[in-house]
Chain A
Amino acid sequence: MTVTPERYEVFARRQPLDPLQHLGGVTATNAELAYAYALTTFDEEKWRDVAVVSRRHIYSQTPIAG
């Protein structure tokens, strides 16, 4: 099985009731690596919650480029 890097979008929030804020993206071969990269790349603030989602799992009627 080949392992292909894919794009993950990164979301985070400072407080539990804040809306999740889109910070940007990282490229990784699995979600756990994407999460680790996100924690390191977007560490300019102390985020309470950080989440990553593969672009494959984002639904849209218009193409999302990149």
Chain B
Amino acid sequence: MTTVDVAAPPQALGDLILGLRDSKQVLAGETTRWAVRAPSLETGIMLAAQAQDELGHAQVLTALHAHEFADSEEGAERVGLGDPLNHPAALPFEPHTQSWPDMVALLCLWDGALTVMLEALAASSFAPLRNSIGKMCEEEAKHWFFAHGAAADLMAREGQVPEALREACKAMLPRVRHWFGAIGDLAPLRRDGVVPDAVPMARYASRLGPLLEDMKLTWPASDVAGAQ
């Protein structure tokens, strides 16, 4: 897609930025909670680093929205980090996961969804957004390696652990798919040329495919078509 800079970004993009920001705040809280109760010290260090990344991303997204979309200084103010706005565009995942398999499922599915969405926005024709997202995508890639490795670790264990991960993912999948259908397909932004004409859900389904296959879970084939 040719990056012809969009001068006046649509409000839908501002809404999505806030939704992503809220999602990252909630995810930061959850990764912080597990950093001090992780199954290993290395895992705890990884989660603490991810929490810091997520808070940094939330800060960048807040500043971006304030600069490009807020119509007044008062409108630009947001509540503190401990109280996300539950913006309609935010990922509707349940915080306060109860078990480590639940947390790994959240990292794979929900953080994976955030990653795919940011990658779509990194190719935006809106320069301030494009310029803000690049480093985020580098850090998101690191999060994905960890999530996928943690899932592989659980799948290799004995007893009920693999099934616990599978059940957690199975429970989350419909909500993720619904989010992509309702908010995350970016149809209005694709029509306006603000983001490339590729459906994020297809890319997400393609990326999650091998993991879901290992767990004997399926994603509708129609969603994978068009993945780039």
Q: Do A and B bind each other?
A: yes
A→B interface (CB under 8 Å): 1-3, 5, 26-37, 39-41
Partner of A32, one of B42, B45, B145: B145
Place the interface of chain B in its size category.
10 to 19
- A26: chain B residues at CB < 8 Å are 42
B177 within 8 A of A: no
Considering the complex, which residues of chain B in the window 129-172 have a beta carbon less than 8 Å from any beta carbon of chain A?
A: 142, 145-146, 148-150, 152-153, 156-158
Bound: A36/B150 CA distance, A:
10
Given A27-B42, A40-B45, A40-B49; A33-B146 close (CB under 8 Å): yes
| Residue of B40, B146, B149, B158 contacting most chain A CB atoms (<10 Å) | B149
Nearest A residue to B139 via CB reads: A39
B46 within 8 A of A: yes
Partner of B145, one of A1, A3, A27, A39: A39
Q: Closest CB-CB distance, A5 to chain B, in whole Å?
A: 8
Bound: A32/B154 CA distance, A:
13
Partner of B156, one of A28, A30, A35, A36: A30
Bound: A36/B156 CA distance, A:
18
> In the bound complex, do residue B158 and residue A29 qualify as a contact, i.e. CB atoms below 8 Å apart?
no
Given A1-B158, A39-B145; A29-B153 close (CB under 8 Å): yes
Given A27-B42, A36-B46, A40-B49; A1-B146 close (CB under 8 Å): no
Considering the complex, which residues of chain B in the window 191-216 have a beta carbon less than 8 Å from any beta carbon of chain A?
A: none
- B142: chain A residues at CB < 8 Å are 36, 39-40
Given A32-B148, A35-B145, A36-B145; A3-B46 close (CB under 8 Å): no
> In the bound complex, do residue A28 and residue B49 qualify as a contact, i.e. CB atoms below 8 Å apart?
no
| Residue of A5, A33, A41 contacting most chain B CB atoms (<10 Å) | A33
> In the bound complex, do residue A30 and residue B149 qualify as a contact, i.e. CB atoms below 8 Å apart?
yes
Nearest B residue to A41 via CB reads: B45
Nearest A residue to B141 via CB reads: A39
- B42: chain A residues at CB < 8 Å are 26-28, 33, 37
Bound: A40/B115 CA distance, A:
18
Bound: A26/B149 CA distance, A:
14
- B150: chain A residues at CB < 8 Å are 33
Partner of B153, one of A27, A30, A39, A40: A30
Residue-by-residue, is B26-52 near A (CB-CB < 8 Å gives 1, otherwise 0)?
000000000000001010011001000
